[in-house]
Amino acid sequence: MLEDWKKRARKAKTSLSKFIIERVEDSIRKGEGEEGYLGRLELISRLKKAEDELKELIKERAREM
């Protein structure tokens, strides 16, 4: 389990302790049903989608000029 967590922390580009703390906090907030709370992975996913959409809009704008 520890090796898996270490790999996941490296992939997330964070320390193991920070990775564990974030996951515990995510779990607590979700367990308490905190409305409007988004976990780190969900935020990263949404940011990536927004960046991709922005790049596409910039390309469209450049083609119009």
Tokens of 20: 């564990």
pLDDT digits (tens, 9 = 90+) for 6-63: 999 999 899 999 999 988 988 888 777 666 667 777 788 899 999 999 999 999 999 9
Check the CA dihedral 58-59-60-62 and report its sign: positive
What's the number of domains the chain is made of? 1
Q: How confident is the model at residue 3 (pLDDT cuts 50, 70, 90)?
A: very high
Residue 13's domain comprises 2-64
Tell me, what's the pLDDT at 36?
Answer: 64
Answer whether residue 65 shows pLDDT above 70.
Answer: yes
This prediction has a pTM of 0.53
SS3 assignment, position 32: coil
* CA separation for the pair 8, 63 (Å, rounded): 40
